Each structure stands twice: as structure tokens, then as C-alpha cells.
């Protein structure tokens, strides 16, 4: 599998390398990019990464900025609690690690908002530590081609680690991610032109030898994300509207439902606003107005 994907990769690498975070090995910028990319479309992050990276080129710059500024720059990038985690992570990096992103897995996992995927991405892309990065694209390739069966998260990580070629950590992780994104896609995988289909992909081998339909092993497999609930009318949409409005000034309690887009659901809007207070994104002032913390 490794050889086949590496032979395929040069045909797409130049275009994929145009993504702005691929031009750096700086650990802080890698961490910033990966936290931005969590549950957010690549195209949307690509538009904003340069702006945020220029404003916060180091952990110290982010740590010294008020949380309200980080939140304002984050608007439109998905869950704003991740902006809070980014700011807290920057503070801890300065307090515990002298402003330098740590280069070991356990220290990275102790940072707010940094899970297994993000920690391993920093290790692989910035420090060349022998580590596999399992995102939803990689998870599909592992389940379909390498295994042919549904994988538990630990199994997916173990299998991914075994595939990483020594001395090619960064390139391999990027190559298999690109392959999952462009070829081994969630919907309409390009099996007919896939370099793995004829001799490597176990799912395809089973499909050819079986008289019955073989379910896609990627569905529900470790590392493979599921579709999010509808955004329109959701609590997530209301949260985003409240935070965007708070970037412009305090929000009176009696206007929350209108700002959130739920004019007849005052209690719902109040619940979301109070949740934002608990999460440290907003605070309620002496006048009963909600504003960024």
C-alpha cells in the first residue's frame, strides 16, 4: 500500500501543497492549523489561516491577546469553544513550556482541545516523530484497503502506526490523507481508477469474490467521522449568531432570542447564552447583558 500511494501522490501533491499550512513546519502554526481544521471544511480554514497566523504567529502572541479577539477572528470556523481552547493552550504553552510547543505526546495531550489526532499531527508534521495521523480520510483507507473490516479506534491507530515508513513520516501522512480525500472518498469512491483496487484493497477483493454485497467497512470504523445533524435551526447556529453579535457589543437578555434567530424561544436562547457563560466564552454583566468574556 505504501509504495502504491507514494507512486500516485506526485500527481496531486503540488496542488495540495498550496494549502497554506503545508508550507510551514513551525510547531505552533501546525497546532493552530489542526485546531482550526477540526470539524471545519478545508476551504473555509484556508481562507482564514493566513489572517489568524499573521495575528498570532507565536503562542505568546495568542496568549497575550484578549480572548474576545481570538473569538472575533474565529467567527465562522465552527464551534467557538475551540477558540477558547486555542487561547488556553497558548497560555499553558507559555506557562509550562517557555512558549515552545512540546514535542512529546503526553505533554501535547495535556493541552486544552488537543486530542490524539491533533497531538500526532504536530509530532508528524513539525517534529518528524514516528507517528501516524488518523483523520477521517485515513480512517476510510485503513478500513477499506488495509483491513477490509470495521476497525475500533485503537485498532485503526495501531494499523496506521505500522504503515508509517521510517524517515518519511511527514510525506506519508500527507500522502495517505490526500489519497483518502481525493480517491477513497466517503461518497462515490473512485474504485475504478484506484491504484489499490486491483491488488491491495481488501474490500475490493472481497466484493469481487462474493456473490452478495459487502458493506462498506469504513462506515462506523475508528477514525471515520459521521455526518453532523442539520445545521439550519440548530443550537449550533444560534450559538454562532450570539457569539458573532457579542463581538460587536453587549447583548441584552430580552434580545437574545431575536439575535439567535428564534424570536419565540426566549428560554432556548437564554439556555444557550448561559451555556456560553459556563464555557468561559461570555459573561453576564451587572446590567444583565451578555458580552464576550
- Looking up residue 102, the CATH number of its domain turns out to be 1.10.340.30
Q: Are residues 21 and 103 in the same domain?
A: yes
Least trusted range by pLDDT, from 18-22, 84-88, 145-149, 275-279: 275-279
**CATH code of the domain covering residue 195:** 1.10.1670.10
**Domain span at residue 38?**
14-127
Angstrom distance (rounded) from CA 9 to CA 2:
11
* Residue 195 pLDDT: 96
**Residue finishing a domain among 162, 194, 209:** 209
Tally of structural domains, the chain: 3
216 falls within a domain: no
Q: Is the pLDDT of residue 108 over 80?
A: yes
Angstrom distance (rounded) from CA 214 to CA 216:
7
The pTM for the full model equals 0.84
Q: Is the pLDDT of residue 267 over 90?
A: yes
Tens of pLDDT along 91-106?
999 999 999 999 999 9
Q: Are residues 19 and 116 in the same domain?
A: yes
Q: Are residues 21 and 120 in the same domain?
A: yes
Q: Are residues 247 and 203 in the same domain?
A: no
* Residue 226 pLDDT: 61
> 34 an active-site residue?
yes
Q: Is the pLDDT of residue 228 over 70?
A: no
147 falls within a domain: yes
Which one of the listed residues 18, 34, 155, 213 is annotated catalytic? 34
* Reported confidence tier of residue 292, pLDDT bands at 50, 70, 90: confident
* Residue 143 pLDDT: 96
Q: Are residues 192 and 264 in the same domain?
A: no
Amino acid at each position: 500500500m505504501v509504495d502504491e500511494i507514494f507512486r500516485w501522490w506526485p500527481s496531486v501533491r503540488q496542488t495540495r501543497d498550496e494549502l497554506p499550512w503545508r508550507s510551514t513546519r513551525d510547531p505552533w502554526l501546525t497546532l493552530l492549523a489542526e485546531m482550526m481544521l477540526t470539524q471545519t471544511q478545508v476551504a473555509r480554514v484556508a481562507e482564514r489561516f493566513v489572517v489568524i497566523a499573521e495575528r498570532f504567529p507565536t503562542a505568546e502572541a495568542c496568549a497575550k491577546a484578549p480572548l474576545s479577539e481570538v473569538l472575533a477572528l474565529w467567527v465562522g470556523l465552527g464551534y467557538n469553544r475551540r477558540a477558547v481552547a486555542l487561547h488556553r493552550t497558548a497560555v499553558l504553552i507559555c506557562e509550562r513550556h517557555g512558549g515552545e510547543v512540546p514535542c512529546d505526546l503526553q505533554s501535547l495531550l495535556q493541552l486544552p482541545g488537543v486530542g490524539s489526532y491533533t497531538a500526532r499531527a504536530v509530532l508528524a508534521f513539525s517534529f518528524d516523530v514516528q507517528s501516524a495521523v488518523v483523520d477521517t480520510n485515513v480512517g476510510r483507507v485503513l478500513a477499506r484497503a488495509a483491513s477490509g473490516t470495521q476497525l475500533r479506534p485503537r485498532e485503526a491507530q495501531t494499523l496506521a502506526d505500522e504503515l508509517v515508513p521510517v524517515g518519511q513520516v511527514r510525506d506519508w501522512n500527507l500522502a495517505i490523507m490526500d489519497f483518502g480525500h481525493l480517491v477513497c472518498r466517503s461518497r462515490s469512491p473512485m474504485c475504478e481508477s484506484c491504484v489499490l483496487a486491483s491488488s491491495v484493497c481488501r474490500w475490493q477483493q472481497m466484493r469481487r469474490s462474493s456473490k452478495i454485497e459487502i458493506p462498506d467497512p469504513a462506515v462506523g470504523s475508528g477514525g471515520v467521522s459521521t455526518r453532523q445533524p442539520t445545521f439550519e435551526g440548530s443550537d449550533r447556529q444560534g450559538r454562532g449568531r450570539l457569539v458573532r453579535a457579542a463581538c460587536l457589543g453587549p447583548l441584552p437578555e430580552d434580545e437574545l432570542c431575536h439575535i439567535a434567530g428564534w424570536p419565540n424561544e426566549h428560554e432556548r436562547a437564554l439556555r444557550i447564552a448561559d451555556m456560553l457563560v459556563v464555557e468561559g466564552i461570555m459573561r453576564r454583566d451587572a446590567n444583565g447583558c451578555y458580552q464576550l468574556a
